[in-house]
Amino acid sequence: MENFEGSGWWRSRMGHRIAGWGRRAGGRWGVMRKRHSKPNLRLVVFVVLLVLLVISGIVYRRDALRFAGREMDYHAQLPGRLTGEGELFRCDRSQFRTDICNMRGDIRIYNRSIVLYSKDPTTAPGVQIVKPYTRKWEQSCMDTVHEVTLRSVPTANGAVNPKPPACDVKHKVPGVVFSNGGYTGNLYHEFHDGLIPLFITSQHLHREVVFIISEFHDWWLTKYIEVVQQLSKYEIVDLINDTRVHCFPEIEAGLHIHDELAIDPDRMPHHETIQDFRAILNRGYTPNKELPSAPPLGVSKSPSLTIIVRNGTRRFLNLDGIVKTAEQLGFNVNLLIPDPTMELKHIFRLLNSSDVLLGVHGAAMTHFLFMRPGTVFIQVVPLGTDWAARTYYGEPSIKLGLHYLPLTISPQESSLSEKYNLSDPILRNPDEVLERRGWWSMKEIFLEGQDVQPSLERVRTTLNQALEKLRGSKVRHPIPR
């Protein structure tokens, strides 16, 4: 089989080459391996890449068509929509980000493994092992994810030995197996590698699906219960700790995934988008109608700005000035200091009623997903973080329908200008620093060692642009009273 996500793979490799940027990794950053040590080899590789880029542009249309053809097959593989009738046991290992195994038939889950008691002699007997987490391409992460074993046992010619265990729980709907391991614990990954893939994989089942979680964490369910309940109406099965025998007609192990914090409508059964994902968050976080209703949203003339405040690294050194500037422009300003004990529904409701979100690049920018389409997202981009800021948050926010305004920090506005001479490559050319010093010093210098002090004049200009955008998109400004 050819590489299914060929073009995605290409884009992502190009991104790494051009910007020299690794992947965000649970508060850590993936190690960039030095690919080419000799400068002349580097030049050759660069020229080759340039030629390939031109060629890829030329063949793009043809590829897109071929790609579309494959998507059709792909749709058929969503749980509950598998092609054909009868038994099935197959794994798709052709994708770049994820492996997916599908089973249909008499399936029993017990003793931490998934067993198909096969009556069809054409079903291949055997064992498949899969890690149900969407970072297949990142070895260091996958090394920490537990394996899930799927086995097919023939029963066609008489009894199997040992006999299939009796079902303690008999499910009538498909089961979807995924992991709470990997980088779960980091907000970006909880959405990018968790909830969004879960939505892509299961939303078409209209809650008629059972989630089976390996490396299950109670805190994860507590944190995301409102979202999980929008996707499944059944109790979660803890693959490792549950001692009952669960029987299923169909199982998918592994989740489907598209792009950074995004959903590709062309790969969805009814062209669902990231806005549909946001809609389930909104449904999940809408207060129960039977309960006393939340204070009504008053329609006010003043637009509201929420500033996400980091208190460790990449802090604003002039937060007071920024707040005053915003207030002078007529903004009603809220400060949001993300804290693990804060319930997501409160953050959702705050951002759902904000017109502008402002924050410094980092995992907390994932909260842009809580903003309403038509509102504005201002991401402050510290030195050395251009590519990551744009790829992980900027471009995805545009897909959600937000107006994205990056505020790129100049050397003078970075605290690094106090530590280094303005002629130092650290201030002049962060990409070169990565090339020369490697990933870990890049991380130490730019991600962990930098605070920002954007000039208030530029903050004012950017906030004025935000007001322009808001006028253009005619969004209302509901302010909680």
From 96-104, 266-274, 278-286, 427-435, span contacting ligand NAG (CB under 6 A)? 278-286
Out of 230, 352, 354, 417, name the contact with ligand NAG by CB under 6 A: 352
C-beta of 274: minimal distance to ligand NAG in Å?
16
Angle at 42 between CA 31 and CA 94, to 5 degrees: 55
Which residues neighbour 71 within 8 Å (Cβ) at sequence distance 6 or greater? 266, 267
Q: Which of residues 423-462 bind ligand NAG (CB under 6 A)?
A: 423
Q: How far is CA 342 from CA 185, 187, 223, 227, 336, in A?
A: 14, 13, 9, 16, 10
Least spacing, CB of residue 193 vs ligand NAG, in Å? 19
E strands, 86-219, where?
88-92, 100-110, 113-118, 126-130, 148-154, 169-170, 175-179, 210-214
The residue within the footprint of ligand NAG, chosen from 56, 229, 275, 282 (CB under 6 A), is: 282
Tell the smallest beta-carbon distance from residue 339 to ligand NAG (Å): 5
Which residue's CB is nearer to ligand NAG, number 325 or number 375? 375
Interacting span for ligand NAG (CB under 6 A) from 28-36, 65-73, 169-177, 279-287: 279-287
For the chain, state the CA radius of gyration.
Answer: 25
Q: Which of 265, 284, 133 is nearest to 200 (CA)?
A: 265
Q: Does 340 bind ligand NAG (CB under 6 A)?
A: no
Tokens of 346: 């409160």
Q: Which residue type occupies 302?
A: S
Please report whether residue 311 would count as binding ligand NAG according to CB under 6 A: yes
Binding to ligand NAG by CB under 6 A, coded x per residue (else -) over 217-246, reads -x-------------------x--x-----
Burial (Cβ within 10 Å: 0-12, 13-18, ≥19) of residue 206 = exposed
Contact between 314 and ligand NAG by CB under 6 A: the answer reads no
Cβ of residue 132: shortest distance to ligand NAG, in angstroms?
17
From 14-22, 222-230, 259-267, 345-353, give the range in contact with ligand NAG by CB under 6 A.
Answer: 345-353
CB-based contact 115:153 (threshold 8 Å): yes
Residue 5 is classified by DSSP as T
Examine residue 128 and tell whether it contacts ligand NAG (CB under 6 A): no
Residue 199 as a binder of ligand NAG (CB under 6 A): the answer is: no
d(CA 91, CA 177): 13
Residue 197 CB burial class (10 angstroms; 0-12, 13-18, ≥19): buried
The answer to whether the beta carbons of residues 371 and 359 sit under 8 Å apart is no
Return the number of the residue (66 or 476) whose C-beta is nearest ligand NAG: 476
Note whether 161 binds ligand NAG by CB under 6 A. Answer: no
Closest to ligand NAG by CB, 286 or 455:
286
Contacting residue, 94, 286, 300, 415, with ligand NAG by CB under 6 A: 286
Residue in this structure with the two tokens 């009796």, named with its chain if needed: 166
In the chain, the amino acid numbered 10 is W
CB of 424 to ligand NAG, least distance (A): 8
Query: Which is closer to ligand NAG, CB of 267 or CB of 314?
Result: 314
Stretch that binds ligand NAG, among 24-32, 41-49, 229-237, 347-355 (CB under 6 A): 347-355
Closest approach of Cβ 56 to ligand NAG, in Å? 41
Q: What ranges in 192-313 are assigned the alpha helix state H?
A: 196-202, 218-231, 274-285
Report whether 115 contacts 252 (CB < 8 A): no
In the complex with ligand NAG, the residue whose CB is nearer, 222 or 241, is 241
Site for ligand NAG in 77-116 (CB under 6 A): 111
Token couple for 98: 């994820």
Interface with ligand NAG by CB under 6 A: which range of 8-16, 250-258, 282-290, 301-309? 282-290
Record the tokens describing residue 145, joined without a space: 């994810």
Residue 473 touches ligand NAG, criterion: CB under 6 A? no
Point out which span in 1-9, 136-144, 280-288, 408-416 binds ligand NAG (CB under 6 A): 280-288
CA distance 384 to 361: 11
**Quick one: CA dihedral 60, 62, 65, 66, positive or negative?**
negative
Min separation Cβ 30 and ligand NAG, Å: 25
Summarize as ranges the residues that interact with ligand NAG (CB under 6 A): 111, 216, 218, 238, 241, 282, 285-286, 311-312, 339, 348-349, 352, 421, 423, 478
